[in-house]
Structure 1
Amino acid sequence: MKYLFVYLLLLFAVGALNAQNYTISGYIRDKASAENLIGANVYEPDLQAGTTSNEYGFFSLTLPRGKHTVDFSFIGYKKQSMVLDLKRDSNLNIELEMLAEIEEVTVYGTEGSKVDRTQMSMAEIQTSTLTKIPVLLGEPDVLKVIQLLPGVQSGAEGTSGIYVRGGGPDQNLFLLDGVPVYNASHLFGFFSVFNPSAVNSVKLYKGGFPARFGGRLSSVVDIRMKEGNMKEFKGEFSIGLISSRFSFEGPIKKDKTSFIISGRRTYIDLLARPVMKIVNKSTDGYDYTGGYYFYDLNAKVNHIFSEKSRLYFSSYLGLDKAYAIDEGYYVDDHIRYNEKFENGLKWGNVTNALRWNYLFSPRLFSNLTLTHSNYNFNVGEESYIFNTKDKTKTEDFFSYDSGIRDIALKMDFDYSSSKRHAVKFGIENIFHRFSPGVNHVKYVDGENTTQSADTTYGNTAVKANELRLYAEDIFELSPKIKLNVGGHFSLFNVQGKAYTSFEPRASLRFLGSEKWSLKASYAKMSQYVHLLTTSTISLPTDLWLPATKNVKPQIAHQWALGGVYKLPKGFDLSVEFFYKTMDNLIEYSEGASFTGIGNSWENKIETGKGWSYGMEVLFEKNIGKTTGWLGYTLSKSDRQFENLNFGEVFPAKYDRRHDISLALTHKFNDHIDIGASWVFGSGNATTLALQEYSTASGSYNYWNPSIEYYGGRNNYRMPAYHRLDVAVNFHKQKKHGMRTWSFGLYNAYSRQNPFYLDWGYDTQHGYNEDGWYYENSKGVLKQVSLFPLIPSISYTYKF
């Protein structure tokens, strides 16, 4: 790692000595809202020198003294060209105007071009796509769109979880304005926590990870929130079948300070509550109610002190809650007793980020960030019986809590030493507090207090400190060869043990011509958190756990090789091959679960290894009236644990051999556009008993249990999965804004896709030829399907 920082010092020295070069720098923004544009292109065609704006819209490009024509462009915006006579460093703030229709912008020789950039295994999701691709119940969802990309697989039917290149659900780093989100799911995994109304940009990294990212093995989902309109007040609200959402933004002080606030809430519980009270109204004095809801709230404020200094504060708050309540009364010996029984499950995330951007010079941009993240889940039940005569109360209470809290401080730098070098480096320190699982039991006997009890037991909290350092440089060896080389160093202190990891990262691009390039990458990744899970959907009972003195951190090595070819009329074709190894993976031991008295989670797990490899093909079109992509993945993912499956290799539960996805949007005119997606996936792996043996001897004994023989973990393949979704949007310009009606069909041809499989019985009965009654039961494999054809409708108004 020390050699990287020596290299950085040399770059600073070279930049300082090169007096004939000058730097243009500034921010690239949307002209209408002053929203910063992330990943906009800056290109000098004569020198074939270029760069892109960073996650704050800032760019810096160093050029020789003299006259230059510089192009500024971004997908969906009009290209802007400027003639500059460089005699000194110049500060430029560029405002680009949005196009009515996405046109082709030819950009060669800049890191923003897919053909030219060194970064591979990365996809960007246009925010306009989020509201056009049809999804379950018409709820726009970032992660469901990401599931349509090659190399990304979904878990169970309809869920928003992602499994990237054979990795597990815990191996995805979800960043919301740079803050990790540990549980990214609402509604038991069927929706993600990311409100599309608040999203500015989405990037998915599947491999070739830049050195600035660390902490996960399989992917990084980098989501940046909108910053708020600096020019005027804008807003929108949407009403759907199960939830409503709103967003409001505008200037606090025009061109100086802005804000945005967005929120969502489901209302299934509010609509169902009166119906449930009527249906479950009983004559014995007892009433039953229950429900489920989730909400989330995003807020952000940003203030410009000067061209060199600006401040951002962003926050997210989300909660899911499911509950059931049974209350009433009974009379015994002329005494009335009031009773109440309540069961509940809730989980949620809170994230906060305070960021300060400061421009030390046109070449050196800095960002100081203080973040806080907290995830917690609770499952429990409580009851009481109240004696109305003696005024005594007997209470019974149980709860199980688990969670994780992070506080971090990070400093990042972007440095442009010359037109051939773009350097990023930084340092971060994270303080973790893990609560793997605490049980709280309380019993109060209102009539005999000596029978009361109040106790807490379970896993103790684990505190850990993580230090990260990184440096990376994108530089040209020649016009055809470009490299991104860097390193990520981490130190994890926990329970008196220190784990260290140096993770080299390298990406190489060979530019064959302006139309095609070949790429290769290698990345080592370390992960100091584990997720113990028992299902293919994201449940709040999945436990986030740290590496400890007894449980090692996860390690992965990934190699990738691919190419990109630019076809006529805005089409791109990319092909990638990858191979990944993973060590120190954990799974529950046979028969273990997240509950249990007096048994640490470390005693419930097994440690093993895994590997995955495959091929990904992406054929896409990002311009014109019709846009979208066709993706195909051929892959294999295996696991091996010494004490599971008799030590034999078995397929991961999210292993899927073939995966196809088609996503299309078409704009007929300013009033009508449509979206459609079709997915196909060969069967997931599942564990099923192959044979059953009765332990009864002699005559049949109904109460005698049977023994099931499985033959191996994940020994059966479920039927293939495929589904078509369609949606149409009708827009109309009203006096004060734009009205949109959206109609959709999820699973348009009502395919009965497998949610899970289990053995059951088919019983045949009747009378035989002799008039005797008979009844025969035959064991059969039964499929449970979740979603048939589901229509959706929503109303959106933007003003």
Structure 2
Amino acid sequence: MSKLFYRIVLFLFLVAFCNFSHGQSEKDTPQPLANILQTLESRFDIKFSFEPKTIEGKQALLPKEELTLRQSLRELSNVLKLDFKILSNRFVAIVPLEEKDQFIVQHLEEIVVKNYLTKGISKTNNGVITANTKTFTILPGLIEPDVLQIIQKLPGIVSVDERISNINIRGGTNDQNLILYEGIRMFQSGHFFGLISAFNPYLTDEVNISKNGTSARYGRGVSSLISISNSDDITRDFEGGIGANLLSIDGFAKIPISEKIAVQLSARRSFTDVFASLTYDAYFDRIFRDSELNTTDNTNTQLALDERFVFNDFNLKFLYDIDNTSKLRINFFNIYNGLDYNQVFTTTQNNIQESQSDLYQNSFGASVRHSKLWSNSFKTTVEAYYSNYDLEASNNDLTNNQTLTQENKVEDSGIRIDLSKSVSENLVINSGYQFNEAGVTNFEDVTNPIFTSLIKEVVRTHSLYGEVEWNSLSKNSSVRLGARMSYFDKFSEVVMEPRIAFNQKFYDYFRLEILAELKSQTITQIIDLQQDFFGIEKRRWQLANGKDVPLIKSQQVSAGISYDKNDLLISAEFYYKFVDNITARSQGFQNQFQFINDIGSYTIKGVDFLINKRFEDFSTWISYSYSKNDYTFQNLNNGSPFPNTLDLTHVVNASFTYNVKNFKIGLGINWHSGRPFTEPASAQDNSNSTIEFEAPNSSRISSYFRTDISAIYNFDMGRKINAEVGASVWNIFNQTNIINRFYTLDSDNSILQIDNQALKFTPNLSVRLKF
């Protein structure tokens, strides 16, 4: 069946949705509380302050226009069992009614931009961008709220190779991002070797992203913080859902056991091992096209290929409200990817041989958290966590009578104690202690010739932090000042990391934001050989040792200004970032530096620019990022700077979303300049079986261009049962995009050019039931 046919079917599918949605009559029915609050903010020129979980799942009728503010709030309070506390002429706080007596201003984060890009994404006064998956509507190319795809729509965040497992924030590598799931450090973030988020989007409640000015509470990631959490509320009624797309089937449930105890769980499993859809074919081709598994010696003829790929994940959260002031939360997760890949071929001697390969990637994690409100102004939280990541590959090569086994294993555990003291309504002091132990094991075993290597390293870290958060009573000014002090026992080194976040409103509609931080991290990803783990997941985790892998340190400062009036947002943010003590092995060089290790740094200077216009049912935005990202290594390129492998000088994203009644549609255009690469020199010396290269990263791949579209339609199937169908196309024009280029030698010492291609035309469909 031709690709044109699929595109026509998709187009008719979307048109049918549009016609059907416009044919529905509007009824005076309960609305989500989030929508009601937005209407009241416009009606009374006020701002609501609340934790997103407080309004989660709540619906009511919109108060009539003739009611006063207090009458409107009283009406909502009676229906929703919420307490609306008027703090000033412009600000109203919302807390659950049962917590009214214990109400304190523990968190001073204030949302300053609502519906940042689209509904469900907000920005706070300390630079944190929050994505609430429950109120999220739609983004182009997405039919599910994939949290790691959502954040790539934000200015300054991109994946140079389209992989979830390779998110680059302001020029940093993915391993420089601290990704936390319910407080647990994640070392595996994607399924299908990085193309799909490993976090079930229907149990995930909120995602917080800090590109700079991170709270002193967090360390261990020099580039950014990505914190993912599930709902922390005990629901009174059962909630659940099941769904499927062209890759997997999943389900989730929130089960109240009593007024004080509840369980949340989710599970997902691919059916790619029994059915290969068009989506699977596109993903499989993207990952395996240029891998070692897809490379067969020209002297052999492949007779058969048997592949079996499967992924699954499982999440469990136990919630226990001990009393009105004390809570216990226990979390578990497991993430798995498995590949069996067998080839049968004939040799030049007409012998039938079989090559057997398998690759397994597994993560397990758990955390226990207890929080206690000791008084109206003092709160403590104690959390213990454990994370385990294991990547293992084996290849039974009968032709060479060789078996190769490789393994990379990470174990991360620790305890954290957080203290929060409300000095006054607008001043909070936070402090705490964290102990962390990280261990990494690298194992390699070869049978012919016999070789075995086992290396295990451990780093223990003790950290103290303290910070002060202050908001003016008018909410026009906010400051967060903090510092984190860490002691690394392996290096006997103490590192001090100050942090600052400042936000000032002026002229009613303008805001100035200044963020700065120092950070460090002990663990990084390196590449020993490009063909390790068959070239699919060739990066392996390694700990700093104080010698050839030093402690990575970073400095970052940014200043931004924004204008927000009448649903028009214009913002520009200038930044400078310096990351020191990176190793050449962590950068994945595929040129003259591929087998050379050295210690250096990268410096990036840039600006993120955004224009976003929001109408009642329509939102459009265009973002542009400019950056200059250069390496400096002590012994590479004679110590002179040269372009970073991840340097994308220009990045543009334009998106349009339309949301009316039960129908949502999104269209997006993505363009960026090409990555740097190193061309072979015009004159070659073939006698030494190596490639002579030009100056490092002195050439550029052609620019990247992709257009995506998606649509979602919701409808009721009965009492308390809601259905949702969605369709999307990634790269609707089937544009051929080269995302990496390198060179190698064939058996005749001739130079081969290898072009890694991005995803081609990739459709997807989904069906969901929620009850």
Scaled by the length of structure 1, the TM-score of the pair is 0.74
Letter in 1 for 2:227: D
* Matched-pair contact (CA < 8 Å) for 2:123–2:130: no
Change (3 A) 1:478 1:625: closer
1:316 aligns with 2:333: yes
Q: Map of 1:390-789 to 2, 5 A cutoff? A: 397-435=403-441, 437-441=442-446, 457-476=452-471, 481-494=477-490, 497-533=491-527, 540-550=537-547, 551-568=549-566, 570-588=567-585, 605-620=597-612, 624-627=616-619, 629-670=621-662, 672-693=663-684, 695=686, 708-736=691-719, 737-757=721-741, 785-789=757-761
Letter in 2 for 1:563: I
Q: Map of 1:334-345 to 2, 5 A cutoff? A: 342-345=356-359
Q: Residue 583 of structure 2 aligns to a residue in which SS?
A: strand
Normalized per residue, which structure has more helix? 2
- What is the CA distance between 1:520 and its match in structure 2? 1.4
* Matched-pair contact (CA < 8 Å) for 1:120–1:207: no
- What is the CA distance between 1:648 and its match in structure 2? 2.2
Change (3 A) 1:590 1:502: closer
1:153 aligns with 2:158: yes
User: Distance in 1 between the 2:332 and 2:409 partners?
Assistant: 19
- What is the CA distance between 1:188 and its match in structure 2? 2.1
- What is the CA distance between 1:429 and its match in structure 2? 0.5
Letter in 2 for 1:619: I
2:272 to 265, 268, 271: 268
For 1:797, the equivalent position in structure 2 comes to 769
Change (3 A) 1:95 1:166: farther
Q: Residue 403 of structure 1 aligns to a residue in which SS?
A: strand
For 1:24, the equivalent position in structure 2 comes to none
* Matched-pair contact (CA < 8 Å) for 1:368–1:412: yes
Q: Map of 1:87-486 to 2, 5 A cutoff? A: 93-94=96-97, 111-114=110-113, 119-128=125-134, 132-135=138-141, 140-157=145-162, 159=164, 161-227=166-232, 230-253=235-258, 255-271=259-275, 289-325=306-342, 342-382=356-396, 397-435=403-441, 437-441=442-446, 457-476=452-471, 481-486=477-482
- What is the CA distance between 1:119 and its match in structure 2? 4.1
Q: Deviations over 1:619-652 (max 9, x none)?
A: 3357732245432111111111122233221111
User: Distance in 2 between the 1:785 and 1:57 partners?
Assistant: 44
Moved more, 643-652 or 654-663: 643-652
Q: Residue 684 of structure 2 aligns to a residue in which SS?
A: strand
Change (3 A) 1:786 1:383: closer
Letter in 2 for 1:734: M
Q: Residue 738 of structure 2 aligns to a residue in which SS?
A: coil
- What is the CA distance between 1:409 and its match in structure 2? 0.7
Change (3 A) 1:232 1:589: closer
- What is the CA distance between 1:680 and its match in structure 2? 1.1
Letter in 2 for 1:729: I
User: Distance in 1 between the 2:481 and 2:71 partners?
Assistant: 30
* Matched-pair contact (CA < 8 Å) for 1:69–1:81: no
Q: Residue 202 of structure 2 aligns to a residue in which SS?
A: helix
For 2:296, the equivalent position in structure 1 comes to none
For 1:101, the equivalent position in structure 2 comes to none
User: Distance in 1 between the 2:426 and 2:162 partners?
Assistant: 47
Change (3 A) 1:708 1:78: farther
User: Distance in 2 between the 1:131 and 1:481 partners?
Assistant: 31
User: Distance in 2 between the 1:211 and 1:719 partners?
Assistant: 41
Q: Residue 382 of structure 2 aligns to a residue in which SS?
A: strand
Letter in 2 for 1:167: G
* Matched-pair contact (CA < 8 Å) for 2:677–2:742: no
Change (3 A) 1:51 1:504: farther
* Matched-pair contact (CA < 8 Å) for 1:35–1:228: no
User: Distance in 2 between the 1:129 and 1:163 partners?
Assistant: 26
* Matched-pair contact (CA < 8 Å) for 1:166–1:612: yes
* Matched-pair contact (CA < 8 Å) for 1:118–1:509: no
* Matched-pair contact (CA < 8 Å) for 1:272–1:291: no
**Equivalent residue pairs, number:** 664
- What is the CA distance between 1:70 and its match in structure 2? 13
* Matched-pair contact (CA < 8 Å) for 2:109–2:124: no
User: Distance in 2 between the 1:78 and 1:666 partners?
Assistant: 33
Moved more, 348-357 or 530-539: 530-539
For 2:294, the equivalent position in structure 1 comes to none
Q: Residue 218 of structure 2 aligns to a residue in which SS?
A: coil
**CA RMSD, Structure 1 to Structure 2 (Å):** 4.6
Letter in 2 for 1:725: D
* Matched-pair contact (CA < 8 Å) for 1:228–1:301: no
User: Distance in 1 between the 2:446 and 2:744 partners?
Assistant: 38
Q: Deviations over 1:225-262 (max 9, x none)?
A: 13475212221111111212211222111x32111111
- What is the CA distance between 1:407 and its match in structure 2? 1.2
Q: Residue 153 of structure 2 aligns to a residue in which SS?
A: coil
- What is the CA distance between 1:688 and its match in structure 2? 2.2
Q: Residue 147 of structure 1 aligns to a residue in which SS?
A: helix
* Matched-pair contact (CA < 8 Å) for 2:84–2:95: no
5+ residue gaps, structure 1, are 1-31, 59-67, 97-108, 277-285, 330-336, 386-394, 444-452, 594-600, 696-703, 762-777
Change (3 A) 1:567 1:535: farther
Q: Residue 755 of structure 1 aligns to a residue in which SS?
A: strand
User: Distance in 2 between the 1:786 and 1:485 partners?
Assistant: 42
User: Distance in 2 between the 1:173 and 1:607 partners?
Assistant: 22
User: Distance in 2 between the 1:410 and 1:50 partners?
Assistant: 31
State the structure with more CA Rg.
1
User: Distance in 1 between the 2:227 and 2:652 partners?
Assistant: 24
